[in-house]
Amino acid sequence: MLSKIWLINILLAVCVSFFGIKAYGVWSGEKKAALEMQPVETRKAKPVRKSKKRISKKVAPPEIEYDVVVSKNLFSPERTEAKPDKAKESPKAKAKDPKADKLLMASLKKIVLYGVVIADDYKSALVTDVKTSKVFAKSRYSRHPQKGAKKELIWVKVGDDLGDFKVADIMEDRVLLKNGSKSYDILLYDENKSKIRSTTPNVAKKPPVKRVRPVRPVRKTRTSATRK
């Protein structure tokens, strides 16, 4: 029995030593392979071709063009401040200016603002038409005007032309007119033009029929008294 146990132990010891030697050989071989340096092939870099810059030759302007810069030297001690040139007005234009202003003011006085309508984006104003001639008040306010009579009132909007003026804006109490760079306000309640508005309705209130009507009931009362 003892001999068999010893044989088994010897075989196991031989196996352990054998596999231990193999394992040591494998471990030592991998370590050597890691330590060995493998030569690396180096490739020569290709030379980069440098692009030659093309230099364009510019022709210098002649020296005559620089005479203006030399004559108007900014750092010259004798340099003075340049004054703006005033526009020369012709004598004919100066003579026409006062006449034109008088005509504008005359036509402006004729324009009377009677009413304004403003609703959302809609703006309109009732004014006297400067272009048309004056007509009688009866034909102006009557529903059926006479033949050949022109209406003196006109509805205008923003951007419309009114005689020599242009309607720039319509507000609640006025209308803004423009003539070139000048602007004028036509007021709805203008004290200077109130007389023109008050005289026009009075002319229409003259019907001769009203004087005859009160006479008829008086005659009827007299006839009834005589019969009794």
Going from N- to C-terminal start, the domains of the chain cover: 98-209
Architecture of domain 98-209: Roll (2.30)
- Per-residue pLDDT at 9: 86
Provide φ and ψ at 80, rounded to 5°: -115, 165
Q: Looking at residues 13-31, what average pLDDT do you find?
A: 81
pLDDT at 125 over 70: yes
Using an 8 Å Cβ cutoff, are 168 and 177 in contact? yes
Q: Looking at residues 41-54, what average pLDDT do you find?
A: 64
By percentage, how much of the chain surpasses pLDDT 90? 4
Using an 8 Å Cβ cutoff, are 167 and 175 in contact? yes
When the pLDDT of each residue in the chain is averaged and rounded to a whole number, the result is: 69
**Closest Cα partner for 156 from 116, 109, 104, 107?**
116
**Closest Cα partner for 177 from 133, 111, 119, 118?**
111
Q: Looking at residues 86-101, what average pLDDT do you find?
A: 58
Best mean pLDDT range from 14-23, 29-38, 79-88: 14-23
Q: Looking at residues 195-220, what average pLDDT do you find?
A: 47
Cβ atoms within 10 Å, residue 141: 13
Q: Looking at residues 206-210, what average pLDDT do you find?
A: 48
H or E element that contains 35: helix 2-35
